[in-house]
Amino acid sequence: MAFAPAALLIFSVLFFTTSLTYARPDAPNYDKPDGPLSYNFYDKSCPNLGMIVRWGVWAALKNDTRMAASLLRLHFHDCFVDGCEGSVLLDDTKDFKGEKNALPNRNSARGYDVIDSIKADVEKYCPSTVSCVDILALAAREAVVMSGGPFWPVLLGRLDGLSASEKSANEQLPSPFEPLDNITAKFVSKGLDVKDVVVLSGAHTIGFAQCFTFKRRLFNYKGTGKPDPSLDSSFLSNLQTLCPNVDKSNTKLTALDSQTINRFDNMYYKNIVNNTGLLESDQALIGDPKTAAMVKDYSADPFLFAKDFAASMVKLGKLGLITGQDGQIRKKCSVVN
């Protein structure tokens, strides 16, 4: 996508006037580094970075509203597998099998073309300066903000990794079929906690899931041959119509939050309280005393959810950073230089 200076100016005014409606947390100390990262890392070397990323995300969402959830998920899937180093963006090579074809990502992860397009625009203005992983972190934030969600300050200065691992993605990413204790253990292994499990699961307020990810709840819950008894009966009936018990329905898409499909809000938690959570792993949050109280709090207080989601995203963005000779600034996000 060509990024003309005139378009940049127009979009700058447009975004400034619209972004004032977004709630922002207390401003951090932007001059204070956080390890190898800082908020103003590219202020001198690529001063238009933020606007270029916003423009790219805005254009992508204008074309496809689903892309907001896809970019957020791509950032999560990157950081959760061996840290935030852009490995999820790498194509397979003769030296490694990457993460794009791992089970949690195959025919599911999207947004690679959006990140590639933004990277190409950034390269025109700031060649060999900004890492792909930093672009992805910024894009995820902008996608949430443009969907009505909270703003959070993004620390910058990450380096792109030199490899990727299909095996790591298969082993480390949480699955909607796993028990809550297993999912929590995976979060804890990353330095996150049970609160982060509940908060980051709230990302399911936007996006879609394929029928196969929840179909056993509709027809054969835990091998019983019957539906999940916790599902609201009307919700169950609708889902059985959308996802009939035949293989050809496996890849059909259903909104994770059918109430406010494209709006980043706290409806996800209200759905769980009302027994209309889509995924087994979502509905499990209300059945465990360690997480149920938080679900109820977030269902009642959208501002609390927004604040805590922003804080958890900052934590996520600091996982497994690469520095020095272990990383690089990729010229193209899909291949190592």
Catalytic residue among 66, 73, 75, 77: 77
Q: What one-character-per-residue DSSP string does 53-82 give?
A: HHHHHHHHHHH-TTHHHHHHHHHHHHHHTT
User: Is 314 one of the annotated binding-site residues?
Assistant: no
Is 77 in the active site?
Answer: yes
User: Is 45 one of the annotated binding-site residues?
Assistant: no
User: Is 193 one of the annotated binding-site residues?
Assistant: no
User: Is 166 one of the annotated binding-site residues?
Assistant: no
User: Is 98 one of the annotated binding-site residues?
Assistant: no
User: Is 205 one of the annotated binding-site residues?
Assistant: yes
Rg (alpha carbons) of the chain, rounded to whole number: 20
Evaluated on CA atoms 230, 232, 236, 242, the torsion sign reads negative
CA geometry: angle 301, 20, 147, nearest 5 deg: 60
- For residues 214 and 240, give the distance between their C-alpha atoms in angstroms, rounded to a whole number: 11
Contact yes or no for 139/71 (Cβ under 8 A): yes
User: Is 83 one of the annotated binding-site residues?
Assistant: yes
User: Is 184 one of the annotated binding-site residues?
Assistant: no
Which positions ≥6 away from 253 have C-beta within 8 Å? 208, 209, 210, 211
User: Is 181 one of the annotated binding-site residues?
Assistant: no
The candidate with the shortest Cα–Cα distance to 312, out of 166, 157, 201, 218, is 201
User: Is 81 one of the annotated binding-site residues?
Assistant: yes
- For residues 2 and 10, give the distance between their C-alpha atoms in angstroms, rounded to a whole number: 14
User: Is 88 one of the annotated binding-site residues?
Assistant: no
- For residues 297 and 300, give the distance between their C-alpha atoms in angstroms, rounded to a whole number: 5
Contact yes or no for 333/132 (Cβ under 8 A): yes
Catalytic residues: 77
Residues marked as binding for heme b? 204
Residues marked as binding for Ca(2+)? 78, 81, 83, 87, 99, 205, 257, 260, 265
Residues marked as binding? 78, 81, 83, 87, 99, 174, 204-205, 257, 260, 265
Residues marked as binding for substrate? 174
